[in-house]
């Protein structure tokens, strides 16, 4: 595939769709949906082709200096900026995750989004371009541009098509992420200047900059500047407070993208920039970051336990799961990094699916309160099966993707900080608790309003509804006043099954045979580990 | 003794002469054209600006020639200033013609007078850029400022307009006096008013570890204070919010850019070129000014609900960013980007800020202030105007890939290059603060439902102008390389 700028095609295919929708005044909502679907499908097809022709036998670009599918064009030579694209195994896998989830999100918005469809699809497609651009850029300047480019469409998605408290959530999301990334901008320029002072070369090429020798003090500061930006995206405790708001208020597709891809950018940034560029600082910061990760795992799980809102529960569980990612990365050994990678992919698939699943009953019942559902397994058996499947995947049930990742991450952590590994292990039980409890209440228990079943000893005792004042803050205008009986919900249709099936297949695949995916990322992870002495592959 | 008359090198003055001719033609047109055809004069002025812009090609800027006994210089610095102010001039005419001609302001002056004042103030600013002498700078600044004072009070029957103009005028006149006093002290200390000559004479004075002379220090302070008034640096910014709010909106847009260009051009010419040997002293001063200006402008802007006033405070914040660029000056560094990034910033600022005021003009109704509520629901009612405003706001915020981001990036680059990382950190923190109030405009446009009824007055010229500025804000971002290279040629000019 030499000579074909396939990465540019993948990245800009959605943007082309957005431009068409924008400049074609006659685009009906229906046409806008189709254009969006087709352009994101093109991107998906190209990215799968890219992944299939990706050569896993080649040494990683950090070693050879030659990224695969590389594209280099001079852009602003005076300040060392070039248009430099390329992928290694890590980004290749994440690109496919992004394109896949984007297609699914567009399908998921097909019927629920009826207001300003054209603008919605434009924002969706631009968001996809921004996300893909982040993964393909190897120039720090270019990377930063795409990094910021994602912000605006995402904020608009939350702010225009979100639920009651959307404006607050959108602005909070925007300001939080912007504040973090601006510090990173200073870090980028400082790195550029330090490298220039050392070698006399103007460059922002990541692979080149990683060869610099930076003083320890410099590394500590600049590492922190990058780290805060990524920690906000992950999000790591205590930078996580934007996440529950954003998730709860975003439309379903927004939540899917947010959980599935945007959170991965934090982990990706740590792997791509923090570790290779500032290994010394990474080692010095390691204990603190491990502590924060453990807190995140614990905190996310505990808070998830008490959430009355389905989306909020999953949002906090994300904080917990992403804690495994940072824990794995900062174990600095093969198991830890592999685990982190699998958790990232798995979380993208599983949590994306869970948000879709919540969205499906939200579309039917116009509420996300757990207490408003019950007994869905009776009238929505297919739905409940999918729900149960992804619930188990999220818990980390062996044979599904969550298990493979968290197991490896904990294994990695145990070798470095035994206590951290042990705590993380214990918390997995908590995650089973909150997920299964949620599933029990939504799928099995008596629906609100249903008379107690005289023949069922378990359900004979009536379940008290939560007091109204406890529900108020989360109810907002989420339509709770127009209560729809969950017993009347129709089961999911073919479109919804179509959305969940690929995610389910991949979840199972990763769980049973993770080697397919690990083969892609191994060389890259190995190269990242080199300055840390360990390989262990 | 025979007087030795030097034959001036007229070719160097062609861009300025074109403007002078345009001004005279407009005055004549005022008399001879029937009133209903006065709008033609706008086209005449835009044509004049364009011709003047193109006529820059006639001059060999690399040679750095001077004429009128060193009073006037044609080098890359003056070229870039010409480009900035002439394009700002064209944009200002585009956004103001309909406004002025629609007699939207009570007691407003007729269009031709407006145009003449605008042309003259741009001419003055170009003279500052091309100045080789302190007196030339003074004349240029005065010529530019006086016209803008009048433009600020353009709506004669509206008290806020008069108030703004009066404040601007009184404080401006005061600042001018301080400025010329400082120039006098420089002349006293060095015996020359020629910029290059001053630098040559200062160099031996500053060799070794000799302390700066008190008279020079005084001169430096006076000059810095005088010029800080012109660029609205804190604590000399008091006139800014009132003047911005009171002035007719297109004038606010204009005066947020061109007088600032004049002030910064004068600063660069005086501080860098003439007083370069004293840079150790004034760099600290500029850095302090930069910090307080950035913090004050951005923090106070957060509390504003009147959009014009908000933009007024935000322009103070931008002055702070530009001061960071100046504070990054390093006489010993070969690839110094300080003045280059300052010039690029001014260039970028013209597009995005005049654009933002253009959208406000578009929304303006009968001289009232424009409140945030007026923007509510604009996203669904006039998607294009809202889209343009979004681009300008995001660019002012410094979001990539818009031109404002590149401008900030180059400033940060210059600062870090000269070990001013702390200043760069203040800059980005304040950018994050500024995101709050810029974003609020965007949020109100897209997230809120319309609150008030208004009749937007859109004319083709205004629409096209806004479109061009939005295009420039996007395009000059993506293709900033050549503009930056041109700005970076200031190094050749200041040697």
Q: What is the pLDDT of residues A386-412, one digit of tens each?
A: 988 998 888 888 888 888 888 889 998
Least confident stretch, A73-82, A296-305, A455-464: A455-464
* B401 with A145: Cβ contact below 8 A: yes
| Chain B interface test: which of A73, A117, A145 (most B C-beta within 10 Å) | A145
Q: Which is more confidently placed, A474 or A136?
A: A136
Phi/psi at B65 (5° precision): -70, 155
Mean pLDDT calculated for residue range A317-343:
90
Going by pLDDT thresholds of 50, 70 and 90, the confidence category of residue B60 is confident
In B, which residues are within 8 Å of A192 by CB distance?
413
**pLDDT grade, residue B294 (50/70/90)?**
very high
- C-alpha span between B196 and B438 (Å, rounded): 42
What chain A residue is nearest to B394 in terms of C-alpha separation? A152
Contact list in A for residue B298 (CB cut-off 8 A) is none
Residues of A within 8 A of B396 (CB-CB) are none
Tell whether the model's pLDDT for residue A433 goes beyond 50.
yes
Which residue among A76, A145, A159 sits closest to B446, beta carbon to beta carbon? A159
Model confidence pLDDT, tens digit, residues A143-180: 999 998 888 889 888 988 888 888 888 888 888 888 88
Model pTM score: 0.89
pLDDT at B65: 84
Residue B343, pLDDT score: 93
User: Residue A194 pLDDT > 80, yes or no?
Assistant: yes
> What confidence tens digit (pLDDT) does each residue in B113-151 have?
889 999 999 999 999 999 989 999 999 999 999 999 999
How far is residue A387's CA from residue A499's CA, in Å, rounded to a whole number? Answer: 13
Cα separations in angstroms, A427 against A159, A306, B44: 34, 15, 75
pLDDT digits (tens, 9 = 90+) for B380-424: 788 888 889 999 999 999 888 899 999 999 999 999 988 888 999
- Looking at the partner chain, which of A159, A179, A189 has a beta carbon nearest the beta carbon of B416? A189
Q: What pLDDT does A477 receive?
A: 44
Average pLDDT of chain B is: 87
Residue holding tokens 């690839």?
A: B335
In angstroms, the CA A151 to CA A128 distance is 11
Look up the ipTM and state it. 0.85
Closest chain B CA to residue A160: B447
For residue A160, give the nearest of B425, B447, B484 by CB distance: B447
Residue A17 in contact with residue A102, Cβ under 8 Å?
Answer: no
Q: pLDDT digit string (tens) for A173-192?
A: 888 888 888 889 999 999 99
Chain B contact present for A178, CB below 8 A = yes
Residue A200 burial class via C-beta count within 10 angstroms: exposed 0-12, middle 13-18, buried 19 and up: exposed
The answer to whether residues B399 and B445 touch, using CB atoms and an 8 Å cutoff, is: no
Find residue B155's DSSP bridge partners. Answer: B108
pLDDT band at B277 (very low <50, low <70, confident <90, very high): confident
The pLDDT score that the predictor gives to residue A471 is 46
A360: confidence class by pLDDT, cuts 50, 70, 90? confident
Q: Is the pLDDT of residue B218 over 60?
A: yes
| Main-chain dihedrals φ then ψ at residue A188, nearest 5 degrees | -60, -50
Angle between helices A89-108 and A494-512 (to 10 degrees): 160
Closest partner residue to A190 (CB to CB) among B409, B416, B431 is B416
Q: Do A174 and B435 touch (CB under 8 A)?
A: yes
pLDDT tens-digit map of A376-387: 778 888 888 898
Res B453 pLDDT > 70: no
Chain B residues with a Cβ under 8 Å from any Cβ in chain A: 380, 394, 398-401, 405, 409-410, 412-413, 416-417, 421, 424-425, 428-429, 431-432, 435-436, 439-440, 443, 446-448, 480-481, 484-485, 488
Tokens of A472: 């108020």
Judged by CB atoms closer than 8 Å, whether chains meet at B399 and A185 is answered as no
| Residues A469-513: tens digit of each pLDDT | 444 444 444 444 556 777 777 778 888 888 889 999 999 998 888
| Closest-approach residue (CA) in chain B for A158 | B447
- CB spacing of A186 vs B401 below 8 angstroms: no
Q: pLDDT tens digits for B243-276?
A: 888 888 888 999 899 999 999 999 999 998 888 8
Give residue B450's pLDDT band: very low, low, confident or very high (50, 70, 90): confident
Bigger pLDDT: B102 or B470?
B470
Mean pLDDT is highest, among A2-11, A480-489, B338-347, B473-482, for: B338-347
Best residue in B334, B380, B422, B443 for a mutation probing chain A (most A CBs within 10 Å): B443
Q: Chain B: residue nearest A178 by CA?
A: B432
pLDDT band for position B454 (50/70/90)? low
Angle at A155 between CA A150 and CA A156, to 5 degrees: 105
What is the structure's pLDDT at A379? 83
Q: Contact A156/B446, CB-based, under 8 Å? A: yes
Q: Which of A47-61, A218-232, A407-421, A454-468 has the lowest mean pLDDT?
A: A454-468
A·B CB contacts under 8 A: 80
More confident residue, B205 or B337: B337
The C-alpha atoms of residue B70 and residue B131 are separated, in whole angstroms, by 8
Per-residue pLDDT band for A452 (boundaries 50, 70, 90) equals low
For chain A, first and last CA: distance in Å? 30
Quickly list H helices, B247-382. Answer: 249-267, 279-302, 307-327, 338-363, 378-381
Show Cβ contacts of residue A306 under 8 Å, excluding neighbours closer than 6 positions. none
| Residue among B409, B415, B425 with most chain A CBs within 10 A, to mutate | B409
Contact of A75 with chain B, judged by CB distance below 8 Å, is answered with yes
A69 or A533: which leads in pLDDT: A69
For chain A, percent of residues with pLDDT exceeding 90: 26
Question: If you average pLDDT over every residue of chain A, what do you get?
Answer: 85
Alpha helices for B153-269 (secondary structure H)? 159-190, 195-205, 214-231, 239-246, 249-267
From chain A, pick out residues whose CB is under 8 angstroms from the CB of B378: none
Name the percent of chain A lying above pLDDT 70: 92
């Amino acid at each position: 595939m030499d000579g074909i700028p396939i990465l540019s095609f993948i990245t800009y295919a959605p943007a082309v769709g957005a431009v068409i929708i924008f400049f074609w005044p006659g685009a009906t909502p229906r046409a806008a949906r189709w254009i969006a679907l087709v352009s994101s499908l093109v991107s998906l097809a190209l990215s799968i082709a890219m992944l299939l022709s990706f050569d896993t036998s080649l040494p990683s670009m950090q070693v050879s200096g030659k990224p695969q599918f590389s594209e280099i064009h001079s852009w602003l030579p005076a300040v060392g900026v070039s248009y430099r694209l390329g992928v290694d195994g890590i980004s290749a896998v994440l690109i496919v995750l992004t394109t896949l989830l984007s297609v699914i999100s567009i399908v998921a918005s097909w019927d629920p989004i009826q207001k300003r469809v054209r603008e919605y699809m434009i924002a969706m497609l631009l968001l996809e371009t921004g996300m893909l651009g982040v993964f393909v850029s190897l120039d720090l300047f270019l990377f930063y541009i795409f990094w910021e480019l994602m912000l605006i469409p995402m904020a608009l998605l939350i702010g225009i098509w979100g639920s009651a408290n959307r404006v607050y959530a959108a602005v909070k999301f925007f300001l939080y992420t912007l504040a973090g990334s601006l510090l990173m901008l200073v870090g980028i320029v400082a790195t550029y200047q330090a490298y220039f002072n050392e070698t006399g070369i103007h460059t922002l090429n990541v692979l080149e900059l990683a060869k610099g020798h930076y003083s320890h003090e410099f590394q500590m500061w600049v590492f922190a500047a990058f780290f805060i930006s990524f920690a906000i995206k992950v999000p790591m405790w205590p930078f996580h407070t934007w996440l529950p708001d954003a998730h709860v208020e975003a439309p379903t597709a927004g939540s899917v993208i947010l959980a599935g891809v945007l959170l991965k950018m934090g982990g990706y940034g740590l792997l791509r920039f923090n570790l290779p560029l500032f290994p010394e600082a990474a080692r010095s910061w390691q204990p603190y970051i491990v502590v924060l990760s453990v807190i995140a795992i614990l905190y996310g799980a505990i808070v998830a336990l008490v959430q009355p809102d389905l989306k909020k529960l999953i949002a906090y569980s994300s904080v917990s799961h992403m804690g495994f990612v940072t824990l794995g990365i900062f174990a600095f050994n093969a198991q830890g990094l592999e685990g982190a990678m699998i958790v990232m992919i798995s979380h993208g698939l599983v949590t994306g699916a869970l948000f879709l699943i919540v969205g499906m009953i939200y579309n039917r019942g116009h509420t996300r309160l757990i207490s408003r559902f019950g007994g869905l397994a009776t009238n929505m058996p297919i739905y409940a099966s999918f729900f149960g499947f992804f619930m188990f995947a999220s818990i980390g049930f062996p044979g599904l993707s969550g298990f493979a990742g968290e197991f490896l991450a904990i294994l990695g952590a145990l070798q470095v900080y035994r206590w951290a590994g042990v705590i993380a292990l214990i918390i997995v039980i908590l995650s089973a608790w909150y997920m299964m409890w949620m599933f029990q209440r939504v799928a099995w228990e008596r629906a609100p309003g249903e008379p107690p079943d005289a023949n069922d000893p378990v359900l004979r005792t009536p379940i008290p509804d939560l007091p109204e004042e406890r529900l108020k803050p989360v109810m907002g205008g989420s339509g709770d006043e127009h209560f729809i009986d969950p017993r009347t919900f129709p089961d999911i249709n073919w479109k919804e099954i179509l959305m969940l099936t690929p995610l389910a297949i991949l979840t199972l695949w990763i769980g049973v045979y993770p080697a397919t995916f690990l083969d892609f990322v191994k060389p890259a992870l190995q190269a990242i580990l080199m300055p840390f002495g360990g390989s262990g592959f | 003794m025979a007087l030795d008359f030097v034959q001036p090198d007229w070719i160097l003055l062609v861009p300025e002469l074109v403007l002078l001719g345009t001004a005279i033609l407009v005055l004549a047109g005022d008399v001879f054209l029937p009133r209903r055809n006065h709008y033609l004069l706008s086209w005449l002025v835009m044509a004049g600006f364009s011709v003047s812009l193109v006529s820059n090609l006639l001059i060999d800027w690399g040679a750095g020639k001077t004429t009128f006994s060193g009073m006037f210089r044609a080098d890359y610095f003056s070229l870039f200033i010409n480009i900035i102010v002439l394009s700002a001039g064209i944009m200002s005419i585009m956004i103001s013609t309909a406004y002025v001609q629609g007699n939207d302001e009570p007691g407003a002056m007729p269009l031709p007078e407006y145009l003449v004042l605008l042309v003259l103030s741009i001419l003055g600013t170009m003279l500052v850029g091309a100045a080789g002498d302190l007196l030339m700078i003074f004349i240029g600044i005065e010529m530019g400022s006086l016209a803008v004072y009048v433009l600020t009070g353009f709506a004669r029957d509206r008290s806020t307009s008069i108030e703004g103009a009066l404040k601007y005028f009184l404080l401006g006149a005061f600042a001018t006096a301080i400025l010329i006093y400082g120039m006098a002290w420089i002349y006293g200390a060095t015996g020359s008013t020629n910029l290059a000559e001053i630098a040559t004479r200062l160099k031996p004075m500053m060799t070794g570890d000799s302390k700066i002379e008190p008279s020079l220090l005084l001169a430096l302070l006076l000059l810095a204070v005088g010029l800080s008034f012109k660029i609205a640096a804190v604590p000399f910014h008091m006139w800014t919010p009132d003047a911005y709010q009171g002035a007719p909106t297109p004038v606010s847009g204009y005066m947020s850019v061109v007088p600032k260009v004049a002030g910064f051009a004068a600063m660069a010419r005086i501080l860098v070129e003439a007083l370069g040997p004293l840079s150790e002293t004034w760099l600290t001063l500029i850095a302090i000014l930069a910090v307080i200006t950035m913090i004050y402008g951005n923090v106070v802007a957060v509390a504003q609900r009147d959009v014009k006033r908000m933009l007024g405070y935000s322009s103070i914040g931008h002055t702070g960013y530009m001061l960071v660029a100046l504070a990054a000056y390093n006489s010993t560094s070969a690839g110094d980007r300080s003045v280059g990034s300052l010039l690029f910033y001014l260039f970028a600022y013209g597009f995005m800020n005049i654009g933002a005021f253009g959208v406000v003009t578009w929304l303006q109704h009968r001289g009232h202030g424009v409140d945030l509520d007026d923007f509510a629901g604009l996203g669904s009612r006039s998607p294009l105007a809202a889209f343009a405003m979004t681009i300008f706001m995001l660019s002012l915020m410094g979001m990539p890939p818009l031109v404002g981001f590149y401008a900030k990036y180059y400033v940060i680059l210059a600062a870090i290059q000269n070990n001013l990382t702390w200043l760069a950190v203040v800059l980005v923190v304040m950018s994050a603060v500024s995101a709050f109030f810029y974003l609020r405009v965007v949020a109100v446009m897209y997230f809120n439902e319309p609150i008030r009824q208004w009749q937007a007055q859109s004319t083709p010229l205004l629409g096209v102008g806004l479109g061009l500025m939005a295009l420039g804000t996007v395009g000059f971002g993506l293709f900033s390389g050549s503009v930056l290279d041109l700005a970076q040629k200031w190094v050749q000019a200041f040697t």
